Amino acid sequence: MMSWREGWRSRAWRAMAAAMAAGLAALVAACGGGDQVDPFRAARVVAFGDEHSVITSARFKYTVNVVSAAAPTTPDCLQHPLWTQLLAAHYGLVFRECPGANDPAAVRSRTFAVAHTGVAELAAQVDRFLAEAGPFADNDLVTVFTGGNDIRALAQAAIAGATSVDQAVAQAEQLGADLAGQVNRVASLGAKVLVSTVPDQSLTPDGRSDANRGAVLRRLTQRFNARMRTTLINDGRMIGLLLFDETALAIANNPNFNSTDPACDDATSDVAVPDDVLGCTSLTLRTLPSGVTAAMDTWLWADRVRLAPLGHSSLGAIAVTRANNNPF
């Protein structure tokens, strides 16, 4: 029988393909997709955003980390890659933060993303890139994925009565516009940019825990994404939009996948401890009362708010599709 380690790639891609079958056709048509005379090929991938694009100095990721029983504190960061790693691998590239044994010539990509940040920190991340590794080149492919932390913070403030829901909605819309402003800035500096919508935060295990909280999270996510989309430069050539909110919803509506429970066990999925999920590994997966054990390639969420490998493989596939079809 094939072990999970031997078969993770094939299972992940089969699961991902099933989840996205309904959404990819619309995605290809969105935001300037079309045939390319000279296909774009990235020489470097540069990642900005929150913890979904972070690989720590110890090579842990904010998802399920793959380890062995013999070395439980030494992750194999190339296994079950982040969505940004999957995109880079499409071009034969790897990230400096997780080079593995690859040819040094392939280690050209970098992540400037910072865990637990939001839209307000994007400008500083871009500034850091410009100071350390800039300027942007026309064969740089930049990724941007952030906003979930902002949306949850706004929802918490509204539910606690610190602000009204309408005020939180207005703030979410402004943050969506601010995100688009930074994407437009990077594109105007010469890079090609892929930016993702935020998945509906009411679909997370955290969002599902309370109906009122879920309703607020859903409204804030929708308004954030809508304002971001309408503020992006829409010439069809500089920026590619990744409609991950649609794919996450398709996964959540598919009974073959689990989108209600964290894949990580209770000890590594406490959102009140921001770095808890760094301790989540292939050895600490959740077992439900029914006896079913979490599977990295069929469960959407790692902890109560962050993506499991299924989410990353799905977003990574969308990114590759968009990069191939956007007439950069």
What homologous superfamily does CATH list for 38-262+311-325?
SGNH hydrolase (3.40.50.1110)
Would you place residue 106 in the very low, low, confident or very high pLDDT band (cuts 50, 70, 90)?
A: confident
Do the Cβ atoms of 293 and 64 come closer than 8 Å? no
pTM of the predicted structure, to 2 decimals? 0.89
Do the Cβ atoms of 245 and 199 come closer than 8 Å? yes
Query: What whole-number distance in Å separates Cα of residue 296 and Cα of residue 80?
Result: 8
Find the mean pLDDT for residues 23-31.
43
Residue 108 class from Cβ within 10 Å (0-12 exposed, 13-18 middle, 19+ buried)? buried
| pLDDT tens, residue by residue, 203-261 | 999 999 999 999 999 999 999 999 999 999 988 899 999 999 999 999 999 999 999 99
| CB-CB neighbours of 30 under 10 Å | 17
Find the mean pLDDT for residues 4-29.
43
| Angle, helices 244-252/309-325, rounded to nearest 10 degrees | 140
| pLDDT tens, residue by residue, 111-129 | 999 999 999 999 999 999 9
Is a pLDDT exceeding 50 seen at residue 146? yes
Find the mean pLDDT for residues 258-273.
95
Proportion of the chain above pLDDT 90, given as a percent: 84
CB-based contacts of 183: which residues, under 8 Å, 6+ apart?
Answer: 144, 193, 195, 232, 233, 239
Is a pLDDT exceeding 60 seen at residue 306? yes
Would you place residue 104 in the very low, low, confident or very high pLDDT band (cuts 50, 70, 90)?
A: confident
Domain boundaries, the chain: 38-262+311-325
Q: Which two tokens stand for residue 109?
A: 């990509």
**Average pLDDT of the chain?**
90
